[in-house]
Chains A and B, each alone.
Chain A
Amino acid sequence: MTAQTPTSAVTANTTRAGARGSGGVVLWTSAGFLVTVVLAAVFAPLVAPADPNAIDFGDIWAPPGADHWLGTDQMGRDLLSRVVHGARESLLGPLLLLLLASVLGVAMGTLAAWRRGWVDVLLARVTDVMYAFPGLLFVVLVIAVFGSGMTTAVVALGLAFTPIIAKFTRSVALAECAKPYIDAYRVQGVSGLVICLRYLIPNMAPALLGYLVVLFGEGLMSLATLSFLGFGAQPPSSEWGLMVQEGQSALIQGVLWPALVPGAAIALVVVAFNIVGVRVADRLNSRR
């Protein structure tokens, strides 16, 4: 699941972006929405109307209204406050896992493209093995060994995302290395390590950044899935995936809000990241 979706998301969105031209209302709405979400997460205690963990059994499953703008959950906790506070964990998790995956993946992909030969072959095999596993299965395996928890989930997903980024980086790096300016640096006597770190990777950054933004949405969804399954964030956290899971009991009772609010948050943020990621990549690439 984690392995295949990002590429299809990229191609699908690229054609659409091409049809509409870059920029425009959709991009700015998405970007504005993301900025709002990030600000809300950073200033959660100021933004949230109530304590996210304040239990009130007298007011469970309340519909949206003046007291609770988005209603309450099965323990009477304010859903808006929980979703705002949950944004912290829900956004920080993918950020950290992408940080881990991109450091490892960019290093591996660059090394493979730069050295070619057996290094490239070895990395291709490792990547193939990682691809052969459904990403989520690999993560569940890691969690089975090291135990549940947000840290394990982030590290495991980071490792699962590494080959995806490595493969993408390798293809970008191969195209970049074929350009004569890299040869020019070699003729000048610059060492391979310095060429890669100082010139090659910065020149690939535009292409990589756009891809990483799209992958951010992917990471958020995967982390939420793990939390939903009980492998990631643990109660009383208000991580969005965990909130959806807790909202299941309400769904069975015919109460929509407790699952819908965090579910919508995940969906909107992921879509926004996809749109922004693809447009950012388009713009940065066309500026070359």
Chain B
Amino acid sequence: MTPKEPALSVSGLRRAFPMGRGLPELVAVDDVSFELAPGGSLGVVGESGSGKSTVARMLVGLERADAGEIRVAGRARGVRERGRAARLRRAREVQLVFQNPLESLDRRLTAAQCLCHVLRLHGADRAGADRRALELLEQVGLGAREAEARPHRLSGGQRQRLAIARALAADPSVLVLDEAVSALDVSVQAQILRLLSRIREESGVSLVFVSHDLAVVGQVTDEVLVMYRGRAVEHGPTRRVLREPEHPYTRMLASSVPGPGWDPAEVVRLRAEFAAASEV
């Protein structure tokens, strides 16, 4: 692997869902391409229905792509590969953090067990898994008390910390976060975002941050990809896209972020303008 090789490279990704007999299929993702440098951070933003979650699910292999290619560190992710070795290798390439932290954790397992199961699956011995589980918990800011707790005894923020630790347990080169802070309140959101930035610095993992919230994406990503109706309408450095959005859809999204000098009427006007423009 040359140092210039991107950690993640996606080209021409497409996914369409059949909508039933006689109906045209729904193109959820259409010709999406991007690259992500090792240790880089990319935001994928768009409103619900824009196809961003489908992109996330295709990246981890929960959804198959109709066309296009996903490469991790130069190696194509073949969905059809079978066997234990291929399965585990794919898991070490990309991991996912889900939106709903409670539903995405097994309610029967304590935090420590949850991590140990992943570590043991990926080849750690019992003692090694126990040790590493505590390290991971510490890394995400959970202590020995939380280690013995089951998910319903943890707070929302603690659950999402555990989910992040679980994703890191497989030691992936890319971490995909699908609306990972959307279910959390704002102060907890900020803590989790700081945690993610720190983890990226410490471990060099690349992040793909899928969110509907431009403000959140602005805090953790270097680059941003704006999706509208399955297509990537704008792609560039996050600062530039947030400050000088080029595409009318991005302008509308950017204006929707509440902040100093925020004018809801302006959002309504831009939305109407954008809707009128996209009708044509």
Contact = CB atoms under 8 A, between A and B. Distances in A.
A199 interface: yes
Contacts of A288: 107, 152
Contact of A203 (B96, B106, B121): B106
Nearest to B99: A180
B98 A180 contact: yes
Interface residues of A, number: 16
Interface of A: 179-181, 183-191, 199, 202-203, 288
Contacts of B92: 189
B90 A181 contact: no
A187 B107 contact: no
A191 B62 contact: no
Interface of B: 60-62, 84, 87-88, 90-92, 94-96, 98-100, 103-108, 118, 121-122, 152, 163, 166, 170
Given A179-B103, A184-B166, 4 more contacts: A183-B104, A188-B95, A189-B88, A189-B91
A interface, over-half SS: helix
Contacts of A186: 61-62
Shortest Cβ-Cβ A-B pairs, 5 listed: A189-B91, A180-B104, A189-B87, A180-B98, A189-B88
Given A180-B98, A183-B62, A189 B106 contact: no
A117 to B, nearest CB: 14
A199 B98 contact: no
B104 A203 contact: no
B122 A181 contact: no
B240 to A, nearest CB: 32
Nearest to B84: A191
Contact of B103 (A181, A185, A191): A181
Contacts of A199: 106, 108
B121 A184 contact: no
Nearest to A198: B117
Nearest to A199: B106
Given A189-B121, A190-B121, A191-B84, A184 B104 contact: yes
B49 to A, nearest CB: 19
Contacts of A202: 108
A237 B124 CA distance: 57
B86 to A, nearest CB: 9
Contacts of B96: 183-184, 187
Given A187-B60, A188-B170, A203-B106, A180 B122 contact: no
B104 A181 contact: yes
Contacts of A189: 87-88, 90-92, 121-122, 170
A190 B87 CA distance: 8
A184 B166 CA distance: 9
